Amino acid sequence: MNAALDETVAVVIPTYNHAHFLGAAIESVLEQSRPADEIVVVDDGSRDDPSSVVANYAGVRLLRQANGGLSAARNRGICETSSQLIIFLDADDRFKPDTIALSLETLRNSPHAAFSYGGYELVYPDCRHRATFYPVPPDSFGAFLEMNPVGMHGTVLYRRKMLEEADGFDRSLAACEDYDLYLRIAHRHPIACRPEVLAEYWQHGANMSHDPAFMLRWVLQVLEARREDAAAAGLVQHLDRGIVWAKGYYVRSWFGQLKSACRRRSGDRRAIVRRGIALARLAPIAMLEIAGGHIRERSRGGPNQALRRNPGSEQP
């Protein structure tokens, strides 16, 4: 295997109605200290005009397709590039200047790893902060069953060979398709990671992860699909812990949304309540336990520990 620093890198940017974000994403790729060998934007049937944005940047290729979802767009990017390594950047996120260079270095130091990932920064309209970084050992299938330690897909650099071996992203999944792929790859191959911040995960109202009930429904499906693999590896307890973790994470996320909406007197509180009802059907025990903790804290007049956002992955 060639040293990772000598291998070619493709950056694939799927976009769907995110033309207003796309320019900043492309510029973050063009400003890399180690340039990408290929930059491809996949327009997944957008109703806006990403072509007018891409036209401003020489060397960036635009592919168009009928709307098929994020997995289909990413898979198209895999098929239409030839580089040995691939990294995906959502159109509303951004790389840090050394994302590619540091990711290549990680794979160079871990020649058997199927992919590498790193830290990331959460960017809100009025602030930004570093997300908690969760490292894993090279033999990491159990760790991935217990939670999604990656958090942001834009920090992941894949070896093409392993992506193709896994048949890419599962088009049947409406969410958590990246977590599903991590699990399928980690079941067979080592994984590498590094703590440095590699990318910026921009938060806005259109983020898919803004709906905790929707996300929990899909992460539970992804985990249950790995039960046979977990059993064969003697890791069923890890998977069951992952289910408990996911339920607690998304219930805490929902309580955080509710608290924020009430405090700021903003947002669609009816929609938040509807999400809570859906979430209670998926995770009734977690909902009761965390709500009970909130009530006990309020009765004592102490800090609201129950509503603290669970640190780390924004999208299991």
The pLDDT of residue 295 is: 67
Q: What are the pLDDT digits (tens) for 35-83?
A: 999 999 999 999 999 999 999 999 999 999 999 999 999 999 999 999 9
The pLDDT of residue 259 is: 84
Report CA torsion sign: 215, 220, 225, 226. Answer: positive
The domains of the chain are located at: 4-206, 212-307
52 DSSP 8-state letter: H
The pLDDT of residue 204 is: 83
147 DSSP 8-state letter: -
Ranges of the chain with pLDDT below 50: 1-5, 304-315
- Return the CATH superfamily for domain 4-206: Spore Coat Polysaccharide Biosynthesis Protein SpsA; Chain A (3.90.550.10)
- Helices 70-79 and 177-186 cross at an angle (nearest 10°) of 50
The pLDDT of residue 301 is: 64
The pLDDT of residue 205 is: 65
Interacting residues of 240 by C-beta distance below 8 A, sequence separation 6+ = none
Alpha helices in the chain (DSSP H): 19-30, 50-54, 70-79, 99-109, 141-146, 160-165, 177-186, 212-224, 227-232, 236-264, 269-282, 284-300
| pTM of the predicted protein model | 0.89
The pLDDT of residue 310 is: 38
The pLDDT of residue 311 is: 34
The pLDDT of residue 156 is: 98
The pLDDT of residue 42 is: 98
Interacting residues of 161 by C-beta distance below 8 A, sequence separation 6+ = 84
